[in-house]
Amino acid sequence: MKVQPQRVLDFIRRYYQSNHETPTMAEIGRQFDLRSSASVHQILTKLEEEGSITRVPNVSRGVRVSRETS
């Protein structure tokens, strides 16, 4: 099953609202039963290219939802 980027974005938003921090790549992977961090990275890259998120390199919780998509 292919995970839609919009579902991941929705999860990131809900997670942030509940926890006041964004999920790690591992937490995203567990949520969607993705066994490979490369799969999570690919989805996050797609979201970043769309302008839905920005990422801070080398930071565990370095995903930020862009304001215009909030």
Each residue's pLDDT tens digit, 3-45: 999 999 999 999 999 999 999 999 999 999 999 999 999 999 9
Between CA 50 and CA 33 the distance in angstroms is 23
Q: What is the CATH number of the domain that holds 24?
A: 1.10.10.10
pTM (2 d.p.): 0.89
Domain with 35 in it: 5-69
Give pLDDT, residue 69. 47
Give pLDDT, residue 67. 73
User: 54 pairs with which residues across the strands?
Assistant: 64
Q: Report how many domains make up the chain.
A: 1
Give pLDDT, residue 68. 59
Give pLDDT, residue 26. 95
pLDDT at 1 over 60: no
> Of 52, 33, 32, which Cα lies nearest the Cα of 44?
52
